Amino acid sequence: MSENSEFRPGPATGVGSMPGEDAREAARTVTGTFEGPETGMPYLAELPARGPGADMIGRTAGMLVEVYARVEPSGWRVGDRPGRDTRRARTWLGEDLDALEEFTQGYEGPLKVQAVGPWTLAAALELKNGEAALSDAGACRDLAGSLAEGLRAHLDDVRRRVPGAQVVLQLDEPSLVPVLRGQVKTASGYRTHRAVDRQVVEATLRDVAGVRDGGPVVVHTCAPDVPFALLRRAGATAISFDFALLTERDDDAIGEAVEGGTKLFAGVVPGTDGPLSDPAGSVMGVRTLWRRLGLNPGLLTEAVTLTPSCGLAGASPEYARRALAHCVRAARSLADNPE
């Protein structure tokens, strides 16, 4: 039996980012809300409010092997050697891992870590000429190889720290659809980089996902028109998305994904402060989708894990705590009344 077939992420989890700058407080909130199979999957929180190096791109750039990046006014740019920005990114990741380790003593079950995927990284990381790595096919290959090597070391570190965990890798790919459509702007802002061939996108994702050696990989994208079929072929065990952005055009791809055993991480709770509906109201759309697709209601709790619609970095700490707890309550509502 493959590790994927045993992947049970639980009823709820978060996407990754949290508000504030306190690693211990974030770890306490996440592990206190998601305690394992009954409530949901804990994860390594990201705290971008700390500044460059704690942001999504900088954090992942700090994991790269033999590729270094520094902050320029225009964003993150590849450099020749590790500098202050690389060291800061690695220090903050270490602090986050220390906090997670402290609050997962004796934990057994799935545990999620997040990193930017190869295509969003290529769209955001500048080469020395100021253009995105996306502009150079060779640079994209080198970046993906460096990322895979860095992720392998990162995953090994998490396993050492939390030996009872089934480590789940989430690749964040918010720029994936623009990459596929040729919508990523050049440095001048007047043109766009040409679309990357879908087979190249798929193969690169598959290579990076391969660091899990057949273990669970989640791909998260909070953009419309999620390429469900491509992500499944690339090795995604689960696909994480903003449920509000789905349209009926996605129905067939979702139906095929569920029937093929792919898990759905459905973002049903707003990621920024606002009123929360009752738990049953939050999952009404999920139930409606299930009926429309003619899927077995009994599959719902096995196939769907509830999350916020995206990361919670833009929320207040109080709202972030409520939003994560609301995901757990909404999941319970779904389990109690799948129809």
Cα–Cα distance measured from residue 36 to residue 12, given in angstroms and rounded to the nearest whole number: 10
Q: pLDDT tens digit string along 40-91?
A: 999 999 999 999 999 999 999 999 999 999 999 999 999 988 899 999 999 9
Cα–Cα distance measured from residue 257 to residue 266, given in angstroms and rounded to the nearest whole number: 13
Q: Which pLDDT does position 214 carry in this prediction? A: 84
Higher pLDDT, 273 or 339: 273
Cα–Cα distance measured from residue 93 to residue 11, given in angstroms and rounded to the nearest whole number: 27
Higher pLDDT, 147 or 337: 147
Domains of the chain, with CATH numbers? 23-336 (3.20.20.210)
Are residues 78 and 125 in contact, defined by beta-carbon separation less than 8 angstroms?
Answer: yes
Q: pLDDT tens digit string along 167-196?
A: 999 999 999 999 999 999 999 889 999 999
Structure tokens at 172: 């964040």
The confidence band for 339, taking pLDDT boundaries of 50, 70 and 90, is confident
Q: pLDDT tens digit string along 223-268?
A: 999 999 999 999 999 999 999 999 999 999 999 999 999 999 999 9
**Alpha-carbon distance values, 218 to 103, 174, 191, 224 (Å):** 23, 13, 32, 17
Is it the case that residue 293 has pLDDT exceeding 90? yes
Are residues 172 and 114 in contact, defined by beta-carbon separation less than 8 angstroms?
Answer: yes
Are residues 18 and 92 in contact, defined by beta-carbon separation less than 8 angstroms?
Answer: no
Q: Give the residue-averaged pLDDT of 137-154.
A: 97
Is it the case that residue 141 has pLDDT exceeding 60? yes
The confidence band for 36, taking pLDDT boundaries of 50, 70 and 90, is confident
For the chain, give the secondary structure using H, E and C. CCCHHHCCCCCECCCCECCCCCHHHHHHHHHHHCCECCCECCECCECHHHCCCCCHHHHHHCCCCCCEEEEECCEEEEECCCCHHHHHHHHHHHHHHHHHHHHCCCCCEEEEEEEECHHHHHHHCECCCCCEHHHCHHHHHHHHHHHHHHHHHHHHHHHHHCCCEEEEEEEECCCHHHHHHCCCECCCCCCECCCCCHHHHHHHHHHHHHHHCCCCEEEECCCCCCCHHHHHHCCCCEEEEEHHHCCHHHHHHHHHHHHCCCEEEEEEECCCCCCCCCHHHHCHHHHHHHHHHCCCHHHHHHHEEEEECCCCCCCCHHHHHHHHHHHHHHHHHHHHCCC
The proportion of the chain whose per-residue pLDDT surpasses 70, expressed as a percent, equals: 99
Q: Give the residue-averaged pLDDT of 79-108.
A: 95
Q: Which pLDDT does position 1 carry in this prediction? A: 27
Average pLDDT value over all residues in the chain = 95
Is it the case that residue 3 has pLDDT exceeding 80? no
Is it the case that residue 157 has pLDDT exceeding 50? yes
Q: Which pLDDT does position 4 carry in this prediction? A: 45
Q: Which pLDDT does position 318 carry in this prediction? A: 97
Q: Give the residue-averaged pLDDT of 6-17.
A: 94
Are residues 179 and 119 in contact, defined by beta-carbon separation less than 8 angstroms?
Answer: yes
The confidence band for 37, taking pLDDT boundaries of 50, 70 and 90, is confident
